[in-house]
Structure 1
Amino acid sequence: MESLQDYTNINIVKRENPLSKEGGFFYLLLYTYLKECKQEGAFQMNLNINQITEYYARAPVMFVDMFMNSMPKGSKDSGRFTAPNLAGLIIPLKGSATFSLNGMPYFMSANTIVHAGPSMNIDIEVQSGDEWQYAVIHYQIAENHLGKYPYFNKHFSISVDTNGLLTELTHQLMKNYITPTNMAKLSCKGLFLQLVETILVSSSKKIDNVDQMDLAVRLIHEQYSRPITIQDLAMQLGIERRRFAYLFERYTGLTPIHYLTEIRIRRAKELLRSGITVAEVAEKVGYLDNFYFSRVFKKHTGLSPTMYKKLL
């Protein structure tokens, strides 16, 4: 099988990379950040798999092109935009990264595929671990039909089961795309539709867990100011604690306690800027012991809350 480097080299020779060289990725989907993003059009669409399936079943989608790329661990990419007039599917092939579109961060691993609309600002940040490899597959809808299918211009994620068939189909599509024959072009049309179908079928099998984890994320955003525990969250969802932790980490890329702590620290920083005392901040973000809050804050930021306030 051809290497990823073979594919990227061919793409560079043939054409400019349409997913331009601008982008950077945010570490996590955080509630207060999303509230700001919503007003700027960066809020993720809440689409269920049935809505997405109906869109692809009805819309006259046409495969256009694709490319593959890789980024080393710890790297960032920003300042680029998605291709104009084209929508695309971003498919992870190896590793993980945070992929932001118009400021909306998506944690991408083998279980998440992201749909991007035209001319969207891109930011990518590769988490620690392996390098990140991904494919971008562009498609279009005839201009006179675009008004009927608004999802074409939106960004949203599709959660899937880890599926070797998706990777295999992606590589098959790439192999045909770089083959300059009419038969290969015809194969691209069928492979693209087969890939979309495989994604949707895989996602439909995960719908119960996805809905539960969506609710878990919302509960954390709503209850972070209370001294909640992971056991509390698991009980609210009716899931055994260890299974909840496993499903949550698969869904977000972070353990429940890490996710909760990230949200609390982010909110604590905002409150410290407002001038209230450290003890008041601790209470407002769910810590009953302000000394413990200070230790957690310093562990995550490298500064004590008091020092952080002085540096503002």
Structure 2
Amino acid sequence: MKENINEIINYFAKANISFLDLLKFTVLPHRSCKGAITDPSSGGLIIPISGSACFTLEGEPYIMKPGMVIHAGPDMCLDKEVIGDESWKYAVIHYKIPKSEIKKFPLYQSHFALLTGQNGKISDLLQQLMLSQSTPGASALFRTKLLFTTLLSEIFDSVKKQLADNDTVVIEQVMEHMRKNYAESITIAQIAMDFNMDRRRLFYLFEHQIGITPSNYLIQYRMLKAKELLGTCDCPIKQVAECVGYTDSLYFSRAFKKRTGMAPSEFRMFIKNSV
């Protein structure tokens, strides 16, 4: 997702958004539509229900299926093509903001994807919204507005949960990478590049989910392995340092003492005397 989820939430929170309608569509397999245009007077949220289709907005394709929501701006070029042998079912929510706010909120005229994952609450809220909008009276109108806001909130909560889950997987993969390659001269900058991630983003995720920086995690793991070697073999300290990723044995000794309170040789002696 190019847009930051917090920026999107901020837009929907601050813009004067008015719900217009909710429409549901069913398209038979293998059908396509080229050269269409999105509603020129409203923005829209496209919510897949079943099946799969390719929506191309302003030349950018989105492979759509349940578990995602697409935002489309007004008056956008749109091509649609159903994928597979299953009918494509989806809902479209139209909304608008005042003309005076359009320049202030450029996301209104943008297209972007929101990955929600499978969420039964979203489907239930769609059903309630469809029923409420077709019911006359002020009470139903008020409920429709409330349901629209609740649906947006559920979508955003789902996206944030998906992002958190994805970040957890990435951090677990990074830690596994460190544990497998701790003996090499790896750096945090190299690791970030290997995982196609900004270095600052890697530090943020580590501190947010693990409670320490990636640098400290790597150092702690190397020190753990150094303790194991010092307690089980009589190899020179220089060799121990090289085995846990340090080419400079003096630097290794300083780092080891800083974290254990003992020099490597002192720690080795302590382990031997403790047996």
Q: Tell me the TM-score normalised to structure 2 length.
A: 0.59
Q: Retained in 2: the 8 A contact 1:72–1:132?
A: yes
Q: Cα deviation per residue 1:42-66 (whole Å; 9 max; x = unaligned)?
A: xxx7102111111111111110112
Match of residue 77 from structure 1: 33
What is the number of residues matched between the two proteins? 174
Offset at 1:83? Answer: 0.9
Match of residue 131 from structure 2: 175
Match of residue 50 from structure 2: 94
Task: Give percent identity, aligned residues only.
Answer: 38
Match of residue 110 from structure 1: 66
Offset at 1:180? Answer: 2.8
Counterparts in 2 of 1:201 and 1:61: CA distance versus 1, 3 Å: same
Q: Retained in 2: the 8 A contact 1:49–1:207?
A: no
Offset at 1:188? Answer: 1.1
From 62, 66, 81, the equivalent of 2:22 is: 66
Q: Which amino acid aligns with 1:106?
A: Y
- CA–CA distance in 2 between the matches of 1:53 and 1:212? 22
From 12, 32, 52, the equivalent of 1:56 is: 12
1:155 has 2:111 as partner: yes
Counterparts in 2 of 1:151 and 1:212: CA distance versus 1, 3 Å: farther
Q: Which amino acid aligns with 2:109?
A: N
Q: Retained in 2: the 8 A contact 1:112–1:160?
A: yes
- CA–CA distance in 1 between the matches of 2:168 and 2:194? 10
Structure 1, unaligned stretches of length 5 or more?
1-44, 214-234, 239-312
Match of residue 141 from structure 2: 185
Offset at 1:170? Answer: 0.9
Offset at 1:202? Answer: 0.2
From 75, 99, 115, the equivalent of 1:119 is: 75
Q: Cα deviation per residue 1:220-255 (whole Å; 9 max; x = unaligned)?
A: xxxxxxxxxxxxxxx9449xxxxxxxxxxxxxxxxx
Offset at 1:85? Answer: 2.1
- CA–CA distance in 2 between the matches of 1:152 and 1:105? 19
Q: Which amino acid aligns with 1:91?
A: I
- CA–CA distance in 2 between the matches of 1:111 and 1:53? 18
- CA–CA distance in 2 between the matches of 1:236 and 1:73? 40
Larger radius of gyration: 2
Q: Retained in 2: the 8 A contact 1:159–1:210?
A: no
Offset at 1:183? Answer: 2.0
